[in-house]
Structure 1
Amino acid sequence: MCVFSRKHTPERYQAKHLNLKLAQVSIKAHATNLNFWRDEIVQPGDNISMVLSRFNISSEEIQQIIGLKIIKDKVKHLQVNQVFSIRMDNDGHLTNIQFFNDDDNGEKNLVALKKVGNSWNADVSAVDTETLTTFKAVVVKTSARGALAQASIPVEIRESLREIFKDKIDVNTLQSGDTIRLIYDSLYYRGQELSTGDIRAAEFSHNGKLYQAYYYDTGNDGNGQYYDAHGKPLRKGFSSVPVEGARISSPFGTRFHPILQTLRMHSGIDYAVASGTPIHAPSDGTVESFGIKGGYGNAVVLRHNDSMQTLYGHMSAFANLSIGQHVRAGEIIGYVGSTGVSTGPHLHYEVRINGQPVNPTSVALPTRTLNTRELADFRQKQQHWNEQLASIRNLSVTIAQLD
């Protein structure tokens, strides 16, 4: 047997110095878009000057702003916790200011200011609003209250949610691992969320059981109510309405005034009805207050339980009332009028849950049973919302998605 062997010689590497001429690198600078909105929350005791000063706006410009006619005539005071927004351009100069002014009449009007050149004026350009559907899926870790707040769900939606399911399940009893999914409308103006609309669909999973609610508007007039998965009324509501036979002339929520070119947030519903028409308590309650109440004029506030109050504004006269008096459903508490800030006789009716105005038609007014035609239409809308909800039922984390 022959054996051949070869001596392995490592390769040798040599360093060389090279000079290479590279093409010139051209870097184009892109202007950074610094145009953005900033928000400031109104604190107790704040006025416009104090809020603006926290944006580091010069005292000279602040004086120019508060000297505007719209500010002097319309803005008497700011509401604690309301959002005050400003917009800056790419050079860091203030260009826009907007906030809602509460007229103490169950209505808030958008104040929009715009700077052109060196002058400030009311912005009367076309109000460009967009309603978007907001979807939230929440997993309860410790408490439903905390989970909803951490998911940045607005307080009015949280309170409405609790009230909608009140006759079926107490939201506060949800436990770790339970889930909440809901779809609601949000109104945007210039890219900012100004307000929320109605909850369109919602569901809870608790102890293996699914609780569902769907919004359905029989008249397509913004006065819808809530039904379960079978199309049955989810809530009993109050036993009656404050005034019989009256139509709702102004619904709850945000609307655009075509003449004044302004956005208005209405915290109740208005009934168009003749002056002197009796106003009845729609449910048992206790008289919490009555008398002159700012823009509401003559007003009565009833408390129905630990969380719910109702308010009745613009009355011409009160019934024989006393503070703490118990009133029964159907009992007359006053008469329709036009006191306070009012353009004509009507009843302004508000429902508040833990101090937060919610849509009276969805939580307080008697919920009507759907007829055959309405039930078929309800089924179609229910199918649409179910498809949206089904896509994330198995998620184990909290998400927020805008469609």
Structure 2
Amino acid sequence: MHNHGDGTRRKQRFQERLEVLRESTLHQRVKQHLPTGRWTRRHWIHASLFTTIGVMVATIVPGFSNAIQPQSAVDGRATLALSLPSLSQAQLEGVAGDSWQIVRVKPGQTLGAIFEELDIPAATMHVLLEDKEAKASLTRLKPGTELAFDLPVSGELRTLRYDRDPQHRIELSVEGDKVTERVIERETTTRTVVLSGKVGRSLNRSARKAGLTAANINSLTDDIFKYDIDFNSDLAPDDRFSVVVEQTWREGELISTSPVQAATFTVDGKLHSGFRFARPGGKPEYFTAAGRPLKKSFIRMPIPYARLSSKFGARRHPVLGSMRMHKGVDYAAGTGTPIMAAGDARVQFAGWQNGYGRVVILDHGRGHTTLYGHMSRLGKIKVGQRIAQGTVIGYVGSTGMATGPHLHYEFRVNGVHRNPLSVTMPPPEPLSGAQLASYRTYTANALARIRTVENIIYADVAPAVPTTEDKPATQVAAAPAKPAKSKAKKG
């Protein structure tokens, strides 16, 4: 306190000296230049100049002196008392709904951590979690989930609010050990839209700009067109895409986008198309306009990031040293590299088998089987289980007769070994009968939407030429071209 008082007095004395100096300077300058008789033009100029200087000194000096603040003897920092705005009467009286605090869940953050951060007692959280539905929602929080807390001045939680699903908001009001639940209906609107754009410098950037989600983009590159388009080398800036999705909106905010319902990709003037459709009792798949599955029956290489180390045919066995028929192909890869099922199948065998070491045999139907040998360990599969193409069935190893970690892969047709690299893979089963008729009606509507939008956006571009697989039995007439104005049209 003593140091603070000394600093205040020094500041006052400094201001007084500056004021005296300013007044003295002004009086002396003006006195020296006062005329004894009638003022000339020079006298008026000098008087104006001194007046301007006086105003500037009067303005700058106080600000400069105020900038020199007394230093605290404790940490060398200046302190300044500020008056805080007074609380509203509603906040002072604790009116419900006046003190909402919004929290977005961070990655790895738990409900307990959020309560601790807001200084809400753990006992209050346990009271809320006694509600089974609330416990199911609040104990599995995803990053980005929004929680709202009504916290009055007293600091006691009044209400917790969260969204159970896009259509329902839950408010849990707390009064002691009693929790009251209120369900609020929230109106949503779902619209079918066509999102279109050109590849430009980056397909990912252009697709996101058009409105596609990361999952939609992955569907284009990994599910629909990966067998027909090499996205690393085939694309040009003027190649274009159009995608049909369903968007769900709530109170003017886009809250979700469906999987891709239909898509076209024009590459070098050729049109590729894919449509999402589910066979009766089956999962949704993507088909060409002609009704053939886009997913091939078999993957040629059921292992990522591998090098072909041994081909199919006669060779000298690396362990036995004798000439023997190599009934498959070998892919060299590091131990632990995942191995995928080459096609949809039923697990026929999974375990140890002589020189194959740990091995899995898959039955794909119609007499086709595949074998995967020398695994370090098996995947989460069991005999008799039906699995989808791409399912991880095991991991690369060197069990059995092997000189190093690799995958031994065999392809058999009715028990006869075939070269996996050259065998003609059986085509997937196309749609037929009533399924095909229903599918054609669906694709006709989807194509009509896409072509209407593309004729508006790309009016000056020549129409794409469908590939053989993209020519449906019934062609859809394109809408007349209109001037290009927008990049998305709502259906």
Question: TM-score with structure 1 length normalisation?
Answer: 0.49
Kindly name which structure, 1 or 2, has the bigger radius of gyration based on alpha carbons. Answer: 2
**Relative contact order, higher structure (CA 8 A, sep 6+):** 1
Structure with greater proportional helix content: 2
Question: TM-score with structure 2 length normalisation?
Answer: 0.42
Structure with greater proportional strand content: 1
